[in-house]
Structure 1
Amino acid sequence: MLKQGNPEEETMNFLTVGVNMRDVACSIQRAGSSVSSVNYFNPVDLSRCTKKSIAFLGCDRISTDGLNDESGSWKQFLFEKTLAALAKDNFDFIVPRINSEHIDPLKEFTQVLGNSLKSLEPLRDKWQCIRAASKHGLLTPKTELLTASLQSVDLEFPLIFKPIRGSRGAGLRKVHSPGELEALLVEKAVDKDRILQEYIQGESYNINFLSDGARAEPIFVSRQLFSDPENLVYSGSVGPVKPEGIEEFVEECMAFLERFKIKGIIGVDFMVDSEGEAYFIEVNPRIQGSFEVIEDSLGINMFDYYYRAWHGEIPAIPSSRRLAGKNIVTAHMDCRAPDLEGWGYIRDIPQAGAFIATGEPVCTVVATGITEAEVEAQLRKLSNTILNQMKPL
């Protein structure tokens, strides 16, 4: 479907832009198209499926420090390198995985498979989004807007502290007491609005929707995995799963998303508590981290489905062939990356010898199986195998 009508036409040329576009770029290549990439991270296997890749990080170090830089220098880097790539090559489409003020200006140069920042604003703003979802009739956690002038909090502890805008869980904290919240406010020197949210004890899930701008179709539900559950540090997912009794919730989410008329892949995070109640948490209007889990489970080319949805067609979603999962392995100590080339279940492969600090991502492991427990057990085993290869500095 990525050929433009006539199969004899030249292969289309894509440019992917984001924090880590390895999964998307490789999907584009498997679909038979040409792809280059501008990234924050610089995994070895990205270069295997791209004509050219440019990264903010060098090959000698893996660090997320730049992503937490509030100046956004890495976003400016991606924007400038994207402009440079556009000046050197003719791209049919740009495929972004970030929602940034730097994306809209790129539409002057070529087509962008990304929604305008204006159309995304009601969803990117977590305060606006949670209020709109509640008004729509979705069950949501109690939420308060935190400003410098707020004198008291009408929520029970523990609670969730999060920025109004952000992704990858950046700035998200679980707060256990008023004293801890006060210390956090001093640490963060609240100069931007943030929200405080009721903590829902239960399992965390994500729904992937595919939207053509008018209709939002649910295609996959996954259970989210956390390397540090206490601090809600996301590490991967397993799916498809079917939490009992969420059919009505999914239908309500569909109707809610269709109000905004945005296209592409849209993720909805939700929690299911011990009584089986589903709580809407937030919307992530971009390509999800479960992108390759869906491919491994359904046996489809996910980028082909994404591209077709952007052009007004939502293909039929096949039944899953198996369960699939991924887990981001994080370093437990300062170390050098081992040589992980040739390990079939490893993706986002680091350059051998690259410095990796404690808590930073090493690579991604993937697994498939018949049950959730089987897949998760495989992911743990594979992750431990990688960690056992790591040697302290």
Structure 2
Amino acid sequence: MRAAEIRNLLVIGVDLIPLVKSAKKAGYNVYCVDFFGDYDLNLIADGVYVVAKPGKDHSLPRLSSEFDPEKFLEGAREVSTRKRIDAILLSSGFDDSPRILEDLSKISEILGNDPETFRKVRNKEFFFRNVENLGLKIPESCVVKEMDEALQAGEKIGYPVIIKPVDGFGGFGVKLVRDSGQMIHFMKDILPGSEMVIQRYVPGIPASVSVISNGREATALTVNEQLIGLKRFGQKKRFGFSGNIVPLEAAECVIEKCKEVAEKVVAFFGLKGSNGVDIVISEDCEPWIIEVNPRFQSTLECVETVLGINLVDTHINSCLTGNLPEEIDHPSCFCTRIILYAPFRSSIPDLRCYSHLRDIPYPGAIIEEGEPLCSIIWSGSNRDSSFLGAEKAADKIIRLLKPAI
């Protein structure tokens, strides 16, 4: 396939606004399969298929419990009966659903990593073993299916440990376990029946690296600060995702080390296009690999803002021609993205006039407590001004909210 042959893109997953904006700026027609179908997505996309239908009282479904990859596949098939789809771009939601990706690839080519690559890189035991063989730091981890396996893993690794679902995303289901009593408490309703990862807890700075690759080589674009568990923005889970700040403010030697390990991981697994590597920078300034997200990431708009590039163009170019961008050593600014969650069951006012908002619900929608409400994007000349601007905007939105009757 050549780039000139691509006119109509199908963009599918959760968190589509930045990806659709980038694709539209790159000159493509963009059709979407999205969970919520927010106001601003309908403004910019050429067509939107909404997976989650509002209730009679305008209440929106819970992403945390009602996300179903099968429904996205149904939507993709429906869109493809009405429009010719030349290629597919993936956002989050399908990292651990290779069968869904295989069926999607029958509709049109997925630009980026193929389903088999997803299967390999998201196979926890395969991933952990190979990263360790590369000589990189990765927390000791076990995949368990039974309570006795979980207890044995906790004792072997040493408490405290992190427990998380094998197929989770966005921090859903991630918990810190301090002893065997807590392990039994948290796992008694999960095991047996589900696969869980037990992982050594590494204190430090949660971060990610945005990487572009062509299947052989990789170029790290930015190292990003992850915002985790920010209660003041409605995130009630300790390890729940709250946004990011691009780039991470840290010593140059730390940034270079993070980029180096991320490039090594992405190149080893033969990944293509835009990929994210989640890391924790430990107290001794060492990057520990946590996982790879082999598709577009939530940092997309912030990375584009600070580097002045179009990530969809860069992604497609790397996939189809193998050309990688030159590394930009000094980003032009800082960009913060805060994800705001409903602090209570909220009736949404008219937010359509706020230029810094993304993922804007329609006026009158009802969002359940703890569910994502909208995102705030704010850039500044330094980290603090960027975060403070987003923080003030978030506080303003929170003050506008009213309890839903």
Fold conserved (TM > 0.5)?
yes
| Corresponding residue to 1:285 among 286, 291, 294 | 294
- In 2, the alpha carbon distance for the partners of 1:137 and 1:243 equals 23
Q: Which amino acid aligns with 1:124?
A: R
Q: Which residue of 1 aligns with 2:79?
A: 85
Q: Post-superposition shift, 1:17?
A: 1.0
Contact 1:24 1:303 in 2 (8 A): yes
Contact 1:215 1:258 in 2 (8 A): yes
Contact 2:219 2:327 in 1 (8 A): no
Percent of aligned pairs with the same residue?
24
- Considering fraction of residues, name the structure with more helix: 2
1:215-234 superposed matches below 5 A: 215-228=217-230, 231-234=238-241
- In 2, the alpha carbon distance for the partners of 1:369 and 1:228 equals 20
1:227-266 superposed matches below 5 A: 227-228=229-230, 231-244=238-251, 245-246=253-254, 247-266=256-275
Q: Which residue of 1 aligns with 2:50?
A: 55
Q: Which residue of 2 aligns with 1:96?
A: 90
1:246-325 superposed matches below 5 A: 246=254, 247-311=256-320, 312-318=322-328, 319-325=330-336
Q: Post-superposition shift, 1:228?
A: 4.0
Alpha carbons of structure 1 residues 291 and 147: separation in structure 2 relative to 1, 3 Å: same
CA shift digits 1:320-379 (9 cap, x unpaired): 221111000111111101110110111100111111111111100011112212212222
- In 2, the alpha carbon distance for the partners of 1:251 and 1:336 equals 46
- In 2, the alpha carbon distance for the partners of 1:64 and 1:127 equals 31
- In 2, the alpha carbon distance for the partners of 1:158 and 1:378 equals 36
> Which shows bigger deviation, 225-234 or 278-287?
225-234
CA shift digits 1:11-68 (9 cap, x unpaired): 8111111123121112111112211101112211001111110111235333434x53
CA shift digits 1:305-326 (9 cap, x unpaired): 1111111221234442211110
Q: Which residue of 2 aligns with 1:76?
A: 70
Q: Post-superposition shift, 1:3?
A: 6.2
Q: Post-superposition shift, 1:203?
A: 0.8
1:164-179 superposed matches below 5 A: 164-179=166-181
Alpha carbons of structure 1 residues 279 and 285: separation in structure 2 relative to 1, 3 Å: same
Q: Post-superposition shift, 1:165?
A: 2.7
- In 2, the alpha carbon distance for the partners of 1:226 and 1:387 equals 19
Q: Which residue of 2 aligns with 1:20?
A: 15
CA shift digits 1:190-237 (9 cap, x unpaired): 323322111111110000110111111101111000234772111110
> Structure 2 unaligned runs (5+)?
232-236
- In 2, the alpha carbon distance for the partners of 1:68 and 1:127 equals 26
Q: Post-superposition shift, 1:296?
A: 1.6
Contact 1:127 1:195 in 2 (8 A): no
Q: Which residue of 1 aligns with 2:41?
A: 46
- In 1, the alpha carbon distance for the partners of 2:111 and 2:383 equals 33
Q: Post-superposition shift, 1:272?
A: 1.3
Q: Which amino acid aligns with 2:27?
A: G
Q: Which amino acid aligns with 1:115?
A: N
| Corresponding residue to 1:357 among 365, 368, 387 | 368
SS in structure 2 of the partner of residue 188 of structure 1: coil
CA shift digits 1:99-154 (9 cap, x unpaired): 33222223333222142222222311223212221121111222233231425322
Alpha carbons of structure 1 residues 249 and 240: separation in structure 2 relative to 1, 3 Å: closer
Q: Post-superposition shift, 1:249?
A: 4.4
- In 1, the alpha carbon distance for the partners of 2:270 and 2:356 equals 37
1:154 matched to 2:152? The reply is no
- In 2, the alpha carbon distance for the partners of 1:317 and 1:278 equals 20
- In 2, the alpha carbon distance for the partners of 1:358 and 1:168 equals 17
> Structure 1 unaligned runs (5+)?
6-10
- In 2, the alpha carbon distance for the partners of 1:113 and 1:349 equals 28
Q: CA RMSD in A?
A: 2.0
TM-score (norm 2): 0.89
Contact 1:140 1:279 in 2 (8 A): yes
Q: Which amino acid aligns with 1:80?
A: E
1:111-130 superposed matches below 5 A: 111-130=109-128
> Which shows bigger deviation, 137-146 or 261-270?
137-146
